[in-house]
Structures are given as structure tokens and as C-alpha cells.
Amino acid sequence: MFKGITTSKTEIKDILIAWLVIAFVMTMVTTGLGGGFIFGFIIALFTVGVAFIVHELSHKVVAQRMGYSADFKKFTPMLVLSVILSFLGLVFVAPGAVVVRGLGISGPENGKISLAGPLSNLIMGFVAIIASFFVPTAGVKGVLIFFAFVNCMIGLFNMIPFWVMDGKKIFTWDKRVYTGVLVLFFMLYLIIKINLNF
């Protein structure tokens, strides 16, 4: 799967910075700098952070497998703004994105590259929520449900068929694929809601 996938020290640094900032922002908004910050930060690293990074890297892997140059680039001004707003209790997460470069990218190729991100969230969300049904420990169950919810929300947000969002490119490429993925996300959301009632 990862044959032919390339990266660089700059890209790895950008990914790590974006990952840490996402976790920091979410922890600040949910727990603040109080006694629960460290624990909250660790949970955020492995839930929100992982959901976002895997989403972005899925775009990269598919694009590079198609023969295009693709690298994750952090958006420093947005990172700084995200941190500032988190101190005000506001969530604004736009740490960066995968930049795909190449001549002659077709509509179907663009659609498949765009689909990779939400699809990764869909897979991780379903795996997490199904696993939560079989975990007896309340704490672990809660983390799995939260991870599923985060993936569901990130995926659904990116499926908005507008502007430069993944959903716009997927919808333009194949409306049936777009509809099917959207239905699966709403199914995931319903399963999460059902699990919360147990």
C-alpha cells in the first residue's frame, strides 16, 4: 500500500506541529489549563489528532499512488489563530492540508483523492464504535465512542459539497458515491447515538 510513497523532514515536522496544535486546541477548549490538562491532551492526541492526520495522509497516499506529488503543508497563520482562539474557548482547527501537484489531474482522479480522507474517517469511526460494544471498561469505551464521534464529525464536515471541500469534488465526480458515503456517515452517527444510550 505504501510502495512509492515519499515524504520529507519538512513534511514530517509540519505533521507533528499540526498534530500537537490540534491536541492542544481541543484540550484547552474542553479542560483548560487545569489539573486535567495532561490527561486531556493525551486523549486529544490519540482521538482528534489521529482522526485529522490520518484523514490528511489518506489524501497523500492515494495521490502519490496515482503518480502525483503530494505533501502535507501546515498553515502557520491558521495554527497561531487556532491557539489564540482556544484561550477564548473557541474551536477553530485549520492546521494545514495536503497539497497535490501535477498536470492533467482528471475529475475521477480528483474525486478519488478527495474521497480518501472522509473514507478513512468512516472506517476508523466504524471500527471504534463496533469495538466499543465489546469493551467492558467504561473509560476505554468512552474513549472509543469519542474517537468514533470525532471521525464522524470530521468526515461529515469534509463532505459538505461546497468550495474546496472534499464533498464538492466527490459530488462533482460521482453523485452516487457521494450519496452512499453520506448515508454511511449518518448510519455511523445513529450507531454512536444508540451506543450512548446503553
Cα angle 186-189-191, degrees, rounded to a multiple of 5: 115
Q: Cell 469505551 maps to which residue?
A: 141
Active site residue 56: yes
Q: What is the spatial distance between Cα 118 and Cα 156, in angstroms, rounded to a whole number?
A: 8
Instruction: Please compute Rg for the chain using Cα positions.
Output: 17
Contact yes or no for 10/36 (Cβ under 8 A): no
Residue 148 has, within 13 A of its CA and on its CB side, a CA count of 28
In the set 56, 71, 109, 166, the catalytic residue is 56
Cell of 192: 454512536
For the CA atoms of 61, 63, 64, 68, the dihedral, rounded to the nearest 10 degrees, stands at: -160
Cell of 195: 451506543
Contact yes or no for 126/152 (Cβ under 8 A): no
Catalytic residue set: 56
